[in-house]
Structure 1
């Protein structure tokens, strides 16, 4: 597993907003800054746990998402924010962690 970004929830607007309507959220590109920070604003109707909406998370790229999720406390089931990428969130000692699997296009 390899570190990818730090996701920080916010209620404020931010530069470089990217709307993801099917996930009911707005994000920034974590590659647009040298620190790997991704700002995230959840839409009012976003169906995610408060833990994810309010607590920063670390995100890691994994080779096999299904394998990494086995036996873990999954708090957001696998979903695809963009083509070629599947993500899921787990809870680790009270903190959200995002696991990401890239597929070849």
Structure 2
């Protein structure tokens, strides 16, 4: 059975996000994940962002999986596997009305997104 570990909740917003991180690859700003222990990420998308509209409108729950291809097999895929940055690959599926992000890290997350307050060893 595929192991899934909760990672975050993503909430789209039309508001500009202060002190946000920017993903040039996916053309969106994110804020909150590193600043709070509750794993809530606010997302603001650029006007020319090409992601499916449902990702830009509907909150999602994200899980880390060991095998991304196996996790999406037979699922209703909204966004096929894509790498927003080196070391992580993500995909989005729709499970009923629930938007789910599945993530796979090729290396420890703290090496992908170094942040002094998030990853306690």
Q: State TM-score, norm by structure 1.
A: 0.92
- Contiguous gaps of at least 5 residues in structure 1: none
RMSD: 1.4
Partner of 2:7: 4
Larger Rg: 2
Unmatched segments (≥5 aa) in structure 2: 109-121
Which runs of structure 2 are paired with 1:83-98 in the superposition (5 Å)? Answer: 83-98=86-101
Secondary structure of 2:80's partner? strand
Query: 4-13 vs 28-37, which deviates more?
Result: 28-37
Report 1:11-90 matches (<5 A).
11-90=14-93
Shift >2 Å, 4+ stretches: none
Tell me if structure 2 keeps the 8 A contact 1:51–1:95. no
Tell me the distance in 2 between the aligned counterparts of 1:21 and 1:82. 9
1:29 Cα deviation (Å)?
5.0
- Number of equivalences: 105
| TM-score normalized with structure 2 length | 0.81
1:101 pairs, out of 97, 104, 109, with 104
Tell me if structure 1 keeps the 8 A contact 2:20–2:31.
yes
